[in-house]
């Protein structure tokens, strides 16, 4: 599959929260990090993975992935991770580096909001010189607001004329609004839900006030672009205190240390340690390859793994994709008996799709021609035929039967 077709997760937050460190740790990338705001101008785009148990055991086979990896029965399924420039208050109006960065998020399924839980940087990402100088709880609302206002601005553009035309021409608001917002990957389902939550009359869009539109945008943000809060830098004790405070205040967040994950990944690449993404432990393979500084860092990391069960980086990505966005995994194969592709690779691809995706839509995702030539599917578990409008289930293994041309 092409990179462009992988589900996209946006990494967002104010400058200096650790977005690029998080992105580097998750993608194995080498983007520049810095305590100076706006180091990242062009977004960094890279491949990261969600992890979940592979179905190879159920079928008593050993898989041979073409895309992603399988490590000790855990499938690593690729997604696209986008690290955008730091957002500051009023970015939606163009402040800081402004609006163009928000535009990079148009296709994101879900956002990871990286917060500096140690509270060392102010709202604009300026260094206050000591941890605890800023309350990270302030950052939570600010970012939600920026994203909602950005959506609001797009929606209200030309609303008067648009809504009048919808009423005069007696068109279905949900349908035409979905077309109007298709650049944001907004579907009719998203719009229906947001209208319901806002309690607005879809028959009379001309009566929606500016404030109604804002409330609608806030709800559309919730359904279309959910946010997972990552409380970063928990290697700093003050950050751990703040995480407890956030939880007491009812703010759901995932404690994380992007720095710890990055160190573990780098030392693994060097062959000094063995570490599997997302796990609660590592093993030193070659102490001679470790500097004293690195040994110290590993002690600090052990402490985090003890307290939180992982560095939080993989957990944040998995939570965003599986718990919040509720995507499912399907395994297309060319041969339903041996579970292989044409080259004989066993369970070659694990693909993430939105809940409710049909067989026909899956075919289109794999190859644009397939959607047109698809005849039916075969469920590899039951060997039964599946119609084109079959709604995919989690962990389905499916052969797509297409017409010969």
Ligand X SMILES: Nc1nc2c(ncn2[C@@H]2O[C@H](COP(=O)(O)OP(=O)(O)O)[C@@H](O)[C@H]2O)c(=O)[nH]1
Q: Where does this chain bind ligand X (CB under 6 A)? A: 13, 15-21, 33-35, 39-40, 86, 232-233, 235-236, 257-259
By a kind-dependent CB cut-off of 5 to 8 A, residue 21 interacts, out of Mg ion, ligand X, none, with ligand X
The least CB distance from residue 144 to Mg ion, in Å, is 20
Which residue, 191 or 305, is less far from ligand X as judged by CB?
Answer: 305
By a kind-dependent CB cut-off of 5 to 8 A, residue 233 interacts, out of Mg ion, ligand X, none, with ligand X
Q: Which regions of 56-180 does DSSP assign to beta strands (E)?
A: 69-71, 74-83, 110-116
What are the residues whose beta carbons fall under 8 Å from the beta carbon of 130, sequence distance 6 or more? 120
Which residue, 36 or 179, is less far from ligand X as judged by CB?
Answer: 36
232 near Mg ion, judged by CB under 5 A: no
DSSP string, 229-259: EEEE-TTSHHHHHHHHHHHHTT---EE--HH
The least CB distance from residue 259 to ligand X, in Å, is 3
Which residue from 224, 110, 111 is spatially nearest to 178, judged by alpha carbons? 224
Which residue, 98 or 202, is less far from ligand X as judged by CB?
Answer: 98
The least CB distance from residue 118 to Mg ion, in Å, is 17
Contact criterion met (CB below 8 Å) for 194 and 216: yes
By a kind-dependent CB cut-off of 5 to 8 A, residue 94 interacts, out of Mg ion, ligand X, none, with none
Query: Residue length, the chain?
Result: 405
Counting residues that bind Mg ion (by CB under 5 A) gives 3
By a kind-dependent CB cut-off of 5 to 8 A, residue 327 interacts, out of Mg ion, ligand X, none, with none
The least CB distance from residue 36 to ligand X, in Å, is 8
Which residue, 265 or 347, is less far from Mg ion as judged by CB?
Answer: 265
By a kind-dependent CB cut-off of 5 to 8 A, residue 395 interacts, out of Mg ion, ligand X, none, with none
The least CB distance from residue 123 to Mg ion, in Å, is 16
By a kind-dependent CB cut-off of 5 to 8 A, residue 35 interacts, out of Mg ion, ligand X, none, with ligand X
By a kind-dependent CB cut-off of 5 to 8 A, residue 16 interacts, out of ligand X, Mg ion, none, with ligand X
Q: How many other β-carbons are positioned within 10 Å of the β-carbon of residue 57?
A: 11
Contact criterion met (CB below 8 Å) for 114 and 258: yes
DSSP string, 311-326: -SHHHHHHIIIIIIS-
d(Cα 402, Cα 405) in Å, to the nearest integer? 9
Q: How many other β-carbons are positioned within 10 Å of the β-carbon of residue 204?
A: 12
| Angle, vertex CA 18, rays to CA 12 and CA 21, nearest 5 | 105
- Tell whether the torsion through CA atoms of 341, 347, 353 and 357 is positive or negative: positive
Which residue, 34 or 280, is less far from ligand X as judged by CB?
Answer: 34
Which residue from 65, 100, 217, 107 is spatially nearest to 155, judged by alpha carbons? 217
- Binding residues among 30-89 for Mg ion as defined by CB under 5 A: 40
d(Cα 146, Cα 198) in Å, to the nearest integer? 19
20 near Mg ion, judged by CB under 5 A: yes
Shortest Cβ contact with ligand X: which residue?
18
d(Cα 62, Cα 52) in Å, to the nearest integer? 16
The least CB distance from residue 323 to ligand X, in Å, is 22
The least CB distance from residue 23 to ligand X, in Å, is 8
By a kind-dependent CB cut-off of 5 to 8 A, residue 75 interacts, out of Mg ion, ligand X, none, with none
Which residues of this protein are in contact with Mg ion, per CB under 5 A?
19-20, 40
């Amino acid at each position: 599959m092409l990179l462009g077709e992988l589900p996209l997760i946006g990494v967002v937050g104010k400058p200096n929260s650790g977005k690029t460190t998080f992105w580097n740790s998750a993608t194995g990338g080498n983007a520049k990090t810095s305590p100076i705001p706006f180091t990242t101008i062009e977004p960094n785009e890279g491949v990261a993975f969600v992890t979940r148990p592979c179905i190879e055991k159920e079928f008593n086979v050993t898989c041979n992935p073409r895309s992603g990896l399988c490590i000790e029965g855990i499938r690593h399924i690729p997604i696209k991770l986008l690290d955008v420039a730091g957002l500051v208050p009023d970015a939606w109006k163009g402040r800081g580096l402004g609006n163009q960065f928000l535009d990079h998020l148009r296709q994101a399924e879900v956002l990871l909001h990286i917060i500096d839980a140690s509270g060392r940087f102010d709202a604009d990402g300026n260094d206050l010189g000591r941890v605890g100088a800023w309350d990270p709880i302030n950052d939570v609302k600010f970012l939600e607001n920026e994203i909602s206002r950005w959506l609001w601005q797009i929606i209200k553009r030309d609303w008067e004329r648009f809504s009048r035309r919808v009423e005069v021409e007696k068109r279905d608001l949900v349908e035409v609004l979905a077309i109007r917002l298709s650049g944001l990957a907004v579907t009719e389902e998203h719009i229906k839900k947001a209208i319901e939550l806002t309690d607005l009359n879809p028959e009379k869009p001309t009566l929606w006030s500016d404030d109604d539109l804002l409330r609608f945008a806030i709800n559309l943000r919730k359904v279309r672009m959910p946010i997972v809060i990552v409380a970063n830098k928990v290697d700093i004790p003050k950050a751990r205190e703040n995480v407890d405070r956030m939880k007491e205040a009812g703010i759901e967040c995932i404690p994380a240390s992007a720095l710890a994950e990055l160190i573990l990944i780098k030392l693994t690449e060097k062959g000094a340690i063995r570490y599997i993404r997302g796990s609660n432990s590592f093993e030193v393979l070659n102490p001679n390859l470790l500097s004293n500084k690195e040994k110290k860092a590993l002690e600090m990391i052990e402490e985090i793994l003890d307290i939180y069960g992982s560095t939080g980086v993989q957990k944040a990505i998995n939570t965003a994709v599986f718990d919040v966005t509720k995507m499912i995994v399907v395994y297309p194969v060319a041969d339903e008996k041996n579970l292989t592709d044409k080259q004989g690779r066993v369970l070659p691809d694990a693909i993430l799709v939105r809940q409710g995706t049909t067989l026909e839509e899956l075919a289109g995702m794999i190859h644009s021609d397939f959607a047109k030539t698809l005849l039916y599917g075969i469920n590899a578990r039951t060997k039964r035929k599946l119609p084109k409008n079959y709604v995919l289930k989690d962990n389905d293994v499916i052969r797509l039967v297409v017409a010969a041309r």
